[in-house]
Structure 1
């Protein structure tokens, strides 16, 4: 006799949830299960399971598609053991899963927490059996234990436009984080209007306005400690919309950061370059660069960037196979020449 023989609403809901749980755990786009398999595990009839499956297909529970995989759908399957049958669409597809998991692995966070997070990402993609973490993910030696809670608090502060206060740290001789000190020798407290969190150059940055400055600041989240958030909404002293670019237009933060391969102060300006040997260093860092071929593997390139970001970028390719020469502006050429003399003096002996 069926376990849901009374046919009550509660019993029907229990069967429906049981089907979804089994589909979520055992299926993906290339691996389905039969109604008979589901019925056997739930202790109900095949007819009951099929009725629920057809209903779930119409409902799209939680925005996820429930449907049948036919043999013809598996003609070009990538899996070595594809299987027709019923399945539920994963929360993430395989590419999204990999990007999220690899992005998480790059963050300087607690290793055990990351292991669990990545396992959940794979589970949401229906790929638990493919969990791609080889070995353990170590916790950084000088890990800020407040990092994860700070991410959560900052996210809420940004969403509700709440001002934040915190200590900002530097490193002592052992590599441990210690608060920066004020002129009085005591730990200095910073106040800021937070706008966004962005990951760049293997660092997690808080884009914000520090009260003492009239420009955007970029702070390493892992160096923030003793963070507190105002209890009321809309307590920012200055909103992000109040900032303008050099033309007086509102700032597009994505474009703004693209002009700063290294987050650095100052306006972005046009920089003209001569690049010999390949364009990989250019487009890897400046996706909006304009390049013109002027010779055999020689290019004239224009990028828009802050002067200091350009200087730091150019110096890292000094000994590479690609030769980069700044043609304009002269101020960047002068600073690179000065850096060269400093290096010559420092290392000639």
Structure 2
């Protein structure tokens, strides 16, 4: 039914209303007709078509406006595809899925996540696919300050403001409790925040904690009582000050590429051999230098933080495909860890069988 007050509406009001109808009612498999739009707005079909063609040429807000023809719907996935005019979604399907999956990783409140993901799907014109995402549960030990902390940390990073906070560890039942000193007092921390990022399924703040010299990598969900300095540029140190080359900007991508697990300490050259596959190398180290020695063996150089490299190589120990050649310190640590594990599990095996543990 026509809306009579649009008969006297201005051109701008009609154009805005057309855009709103396109945004609410269309996607790549569902269009609306000029006749239907005209009926909704109480204006002539000729007026609507004129504005649609103008919008098609303009691409307002960088979004394509066009027509879906019946032939375009030959391979449509939805149950009720519909030809007509449509406006391109803000996100394509791949962008939608990446954003939605990133949201799920945040370990936040389930109701909030469902609402946020619904908005992402709506912007992609894929609201009918929401059910495929499955049920989202709130983590049992969810930090209720998490979402507010994200907002505060983002503001602090943008304006280069120092932060103060309490940092949590886990109690025996898995709940988050603030860290305490030897006297039982809750510890308070101050830091310069630089970057928020996901790594290995965790959401990290990379920062300079004022009591330390190196960078720190803190789990965002463990922050409590976070507050931000009200003054801009109140950092004790800038991120660029951590670059070994004085006066040069900090190379963030290089820094994180040298740390399969976020941790402080310098990155060093590491020499190794790997057999049968290069997946463990290039899954973790984009800039590895690899030489093939024979049909099954590769000689590899990577640059990595030594502790992070230790954790990385241990996860492939059961496959027996990697040998560290240098540095000697990393080989020694692996040897000591191997001796410890062999002793630990040899004792456990003998205890379970009731047999005495004789040294060989």
Length-normalised TM-score, structure 2? 0.89
Provide the rounded CA distance (Å) in 2 between the counterparts of 1:296 and 1:7: 79
Shift of 1:279: 1.2
Q: Comparing 121-130 with 22-31, which one deviates more in the overlay?
A: 22-31
Shift of 1:109: 1.0
Match status 1:341 vs 2:348: no
Equivalent residue for 1:327, pick from 321, 325, 328? 325
Q: Comparing 274-283 with 75-84, which one deviates more in the overlay?
A: 75-84
The residue aligned with 2:176 is 177
Contact 1:246 1:267 in 2 (8 A): no
Provide the rounded CA distance (Å) in 2 between the counterparts of 1:166 and 1:91: 37
1:139-154 equivalences in 2 (<5 Å): 139-154=138-153
Provide the rounded CA distance (Å) in 2 between the counterparts of 1:329 and 1:123: 53
The residue aligned with 2:137 is 138
Cα deviation, 1:23-74, whole Å, max 9, x if unaligned, reads 11222234322211222333332122212212323443333222233456x2
CA 1:264 to 1:2, structure 2 compared with 1: closer, same or farther past 3 Å? closer
Question: In the comparison of the two structures, how many residue pairs are matched?
Answer: 345
Q: Comparing 13-22 with 108-117, which one deviates more in the overlay?
A: 13-22
Shift of 1:112: 1.2
Q: Comparing 242-251 with 253-262, which one deviates more in the overlay?
A: 242-251
1:178-327 equivalences in 2 (<5 Å): 178-245=177-244, 249-320=248-319, 323-327=321-325
Q: Comparing 40-49 with 102-111, which one deviates more in the overlay?
A: 40-49
Shift of 1:16: 2.5
Provide the rounded CA distance (Å) in 2 between the counterparts of 1:101 and 1:210: 32
Provide the rounded CA distance (Å) in 2 between the counterparts of 1:340 and 1:106: 34
Provide the rounded CA distance (Å) in 1 between the counterparts of 2:175 and 2:43: 60
Contact 1:30 1:77 in 2 (8 A): no
Shift of 1:137: 0.3
Provide the rounded CA distance (Å) in 1 between the counterparts of 2:250 and 2:231: 26
Cα deviation, 1:91-142, whole Å, max 9, x if unaligned, reads 1111111111111112211111111111110100111112254432000000
Match status 1:37 vs 2:18: no
Provide the rounded CA distance (Å) in 2 between the counterparts of 1:78 and 1:213: 58
The residue aligned with 1:162 is 161
Query: What is the SS of the residue equivalent to 2:161?
Result: coil
RMSD: 2.2
Contact 1:245 1:267 in 2 (8 A): no
The residue aligned with 1:105 is 104
Contact 1:4 1:44 in 2 (8 A): no
Uncovered stretches (5+) of structure 2, i.e. residues with no partner:
348-360
Contact 2:6 2:41 in 1 (8 A): no
Match status 1:3 vs 2:4: yes
Contact 1:165 1:228 in 2 (8 A): yes
CA 1:310 to 1:204, structure 2 compared with 1: closer, same or farther past 3 Å? same
Provide the rounded CA distance (Å) in 1 between the counterparts of 2:324 and 2:316: 12
Cα deviation, 1:260-283, whole Å, max 9, x if unaligned, reads 010122111111111112111111
Uncovered stretches (5+) of structure 1, i.e. residues with no partner:
none
Query: What is the SS of the residue equivalent to 1:91?
Result: coil
